[in-house]
Structure formats: structure tokens, C-alpha cells
């Protein structure tokens, strides 16, 4: 059984990096998720061709795939923009993520073997090291934290037995990660977040699926509420305002 989460489990061949369009897709996607390309940014073709050193055809192919992923919005003859953010969308992403990711976590606990346990433990240890780097304000620590944080969460569901579930979890996590990167400033990870990663890791290895599911559910909600709080500080207020994410 294969436990390396990530690109190869995604669907529609979108991660074949051997083509110029695929490489452009990944480069733009990474910049959107990292918040380098901010929500609502007009994606001017000529600027993107220079920025990513790509021609018109592979660029349009990449933007079309990003539209299918929900990271880019097509505007008819007016071109493309980075998809806007809203509290309503954050709420929807959070609720859907809970339904799918918690189920996948339960399945992984039921089906995962020793290799899965080793993968989960390894990703957790790397995450702890990344937290220490972040607290010490080391160069590149924020980017490293994001990569290893994603790695930890997706390792939890990697043994669920369904490539579709893994792919959906991956995409939902990306959407959630974009909100966090756009609005949350990492100076210090709250102690509650640090403790939650530890007990989620322990519950997974103990094969306590009920406790693990509850912990992951609450962890996702807490992360969403912290992100919502910071989004409000940045002036994000929906017309149909919600009082809390969940």
C-alpha cells in the first residue's frame, strides 16, 4: 500500500509535471495558496507569461485547470482572476472538510498498517521540529511549517483506501490553507494548536477512532475560527454575515 500523500493521488492527471502547462499550473497554484497572488487579483496574460516564462497555450491550459480547482475564476471574455474569499466560503470549506476528512481519518485508523503508523509518527515529529524553527524565527520557517503541517494532516487519512477521498481532502486542505496564508500571521503557534496535534497523533496510533474523530473535528473548527477572526481584522465582512464558522 502506498502512503506518500500528494500529487500522484490527485485526479485528471493534473500533477504530471512533465509538461509546461502542468509546471505552470503548479507554479501559479502554489502562488495562490501562499497568498502571493492575492484574492481578486486580475491575472493578466502578458504579465503571467513573463512571470512564469510560458506561452499562451500552456498558460491558458493551466488557468483552465485552476478554474476547475476553484482557485481561479473565469470571467468570460474578461479573462481570469484569483478567486475571491469570504466568510461564507470559509464556512462551507470548513464544514465540507470536517465531513470528508474525519471520515477518511476513521477509515485510515481501521485500515492502516504499521507503515501508516510510521508515516504518521514521522510527519508529526517533523512538524514539531518545524514549530521549534518557527518559534525561533528562523529564515523560511513559515513556509516549512505550512508544508509539514499539510503533510501531517494528509498523512492521517492516507490509509483510507480511497484515492477519491484523498484527492478531495487534498483540495479542501489547499483551499483552507489559502485562507490561512492570506490572513494569519505566524509569530507564535497557540499552545492549544500544539497540544491538539500531539493528541491527534496519539489517538491515531492508539487506534481510538471515536476520540480521534472528535479531536480532528474540534481541531478543524478551532483553526477555522482563528482564521475567521484574523479575516475580520483584515476587513472581510460578508453581506450575509455569519456569527461563527461552525
Q: Which domains does the chain have, with CATH numbers?
A: 12-82 (1.10.10.10), 87-233 (1.20.120.530)
CB neighbour class for 13 (10 Å; exposed up to 12, middle 13-18, buried from 19): exposed
pLDDT digits (tens, 9 = 90+) for 77-98: 778 999 999 999 999 999 999 9
> If residue 73 lies in a helix (H) or strand (E), which one and from where to where?
strand 72-74
Q: Is the pLDDT of residue 11 over 60?
A: no
Q: Is the pLDDT of residue 184 over 90?
A: no
Greater confidence (50 vs 7) lies with 50
**Residue range 102-111: mean pLDDT, rounded:** 98
Predicted model pTM: 0.85
In this prediction, residue 18 carries a pLDDT of 52
* Average pLDDT value over all residues in the chain: 86
Q: Name 199's Cβ contacts closer than 8 Å, sequence gap at least 6.
A: 215
Amino acid at each position: 500500500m502506498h502512503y506518500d500523500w500528494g500529487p500522484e493521488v490527485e485526479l485528471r492527471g493534473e500533477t504530471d509535471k512533465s509538461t509546461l502547462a502542468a509546471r505552470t499550473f503548479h507554479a501559479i497554484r502554489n502562488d495562490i495558496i501562499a497568498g502571493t497572488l492575492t484574492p481578486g487579483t486580475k491575472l493578466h496574460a502578458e504579465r503571467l507569461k513573463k512571470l512564469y516564462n510560458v506561452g499562451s497555450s500552456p498558460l491558458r491550459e493551466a488557468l483552465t485547470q485552476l478554474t476547475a480547482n476553484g482557485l481561479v475564476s473565469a470571467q468570460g471574455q474578461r479573462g481570469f482572476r484569483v478567486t475571491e474569499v469570504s466568510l461564507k466560503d470559509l464556512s462551507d470549506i470548513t464544514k465540507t472538510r470536517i465531513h470528508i476528512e474525519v471520515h477518511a481519518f476513521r477509515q485510515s485508523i481501521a485500515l492502516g498498517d504499521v507503515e501508516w503508523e510510521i508515516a504518521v509518527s514521522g510527519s508529526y515529529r517533523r512538524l514539531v521540529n518545524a514549530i521549534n524553527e518557527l518559534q525561533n524565527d528562523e529564515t523560511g520557517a513559515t513556509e516549512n511549517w505550512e508544508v509539514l503541517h499539510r503533510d501531517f494532516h494528509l498523512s492521517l487519512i492516507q490509509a483510507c483506501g480511497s484515492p477519491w477521498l484523498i484527492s478531495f481532502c487534498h483540495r479542501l486542505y489547499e483551499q483552507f490553507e489559502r485562507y490561512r496564508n492570506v490572513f494569519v500571521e505566524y509569530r507564535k503557534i497557540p499552545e492549544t494548536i500544539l497540544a491538539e496535534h500531539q493528541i491527534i497523533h496519539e489517538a491515531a496510533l492508539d487506534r481510538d477512532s471515536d476520540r480521534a474523530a472528535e479531536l480532528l473535528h474540534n481541531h478543524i473548527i478551532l483553526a477555522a475560527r482563528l482564521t475567521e477572526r484574523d479575516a475580520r481584522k483584515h476587513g472581510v465582512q460578508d453581506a450575509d454575515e455569519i456569527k461563527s464558522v461552525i
